């Protein structure tokens, strides 16, 4: 299930995201939103230390994976949604530690990132600042380098994105609940459904529902 080591966690997270993208594809397109995968924030985190040392940041050679993200090409997605042309809002997971995951709501035009964290108490504001640094620093450079100027239409890209942990989100201290809850937050957010519907009693159902739905979608349909 969702209690194994990090790499398996990541596979399950991406499976849940692919499931949401398939089921709500039309809704996402209509709302100019797109769901990325776990490799997005991971790739930026891995690049950040080298990027920080570079003396020619505006000429940084972004790899093909980052270029694909900007062009709207994400593994497991049937719809190609390019940043700014087709998409204003990006949803992505962020691995915090162990089995702890959060969901990111990235507003490209506003230059902000909302963090939907199932366990806010597990990380201090200072720790979150460190974890978010690669995203808030690299996103402006990626946009200015890879989004065509005619698409940006003189849009003023901020020097850094701002982030905030969004309040009043259902909290759970159990790491096993973290991934499914973060993915559920994404599902509710792009449908404009209040997070108030999540209760302690529903958490186990959310985990099991994702497990069953992923099996039916990607392995084989269950026979009655």
In a domain, 79, yes or no: yes
In a domain, 1, yes or no: no
In a domain, 223, yes or no: no
CATH classification of the domain holding 71: 3.40.395.10
CA gap 50, 47 in Å, rounded: 6
Question: For the chain, which residues score pLDDT lower than 50?
Answer: 1-8, 222, 224
Q: What is the pLDDT of residue 63?
A: 93
Q: What is the pLDDT of residue 1?
A: 34
Q: What is the pLDDT of residue 202?
A: 78
Q: What is the pLDDT of residue 8?
A: 40
Q: Where are the alpha helices (DSSP H) in the chain?
A: 6-23, 25-30, 39-53, 64-71, 125-146, 149-152, 175-190, 200-218
Q: Work out how many domains the chain is built from and give that number.
A: 1
**Encoded tokens for 1:** 């299930």
Per the structure, the complete domain to which residue 87 belongs is given by 6-218
CB-CB neighbours of 131 under 10 Å: 19
CA end-to-end distance (rounded Å), the chain = 23
Using the 8-state DSSP alphabet, how is residue 53 labeled?
H
């Amino acid at each position: 299930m969702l209690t194994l080591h990090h790499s398996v966690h990541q596979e399950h997270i991406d499976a849940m995201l692919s499931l949401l993208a398939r089921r709500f594809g039309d809704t996402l397109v209509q709302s100019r939103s797109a769901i990325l995968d776990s490799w997005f924030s991971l790739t930026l985190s891995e690049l950040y230390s080298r990027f920080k040392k570079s003396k020619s940041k505006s000429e940084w050679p972004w790899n093909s994976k980052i270029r694909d993200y900007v062009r709207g090409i994400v593994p497991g997605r049937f719809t190609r949604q390019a940043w700014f042309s087709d998409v204003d809002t990006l949803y992505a997971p962020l691995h915090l530690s162990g089995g702890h995951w959060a969901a990111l709501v990235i507003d490209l035009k506003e230059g902000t990132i909302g963090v939907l964290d199932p366990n806010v108490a597990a990380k201090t504001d200072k720790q979150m600042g460190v974890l978010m640094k690669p995203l808030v620093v690299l996103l402006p450079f990626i946009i200015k380098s890879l989004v065509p100027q005619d698409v940006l239409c003189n849009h003023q890209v901020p020097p850094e994105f701002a982030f905030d942990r969004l309040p009043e989100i259902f909290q759970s201290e159990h790491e096993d609940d973290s991934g499914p809850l973060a993915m559920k937050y994404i599902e509710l957010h792009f449908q404009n459904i209040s997070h108030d519907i999540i209760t302690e009693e529903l958490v186990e159902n959310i985990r099991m529902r994702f497990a069953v739905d992923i099996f039916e979608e990607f392995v084989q349909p269950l026979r009655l």
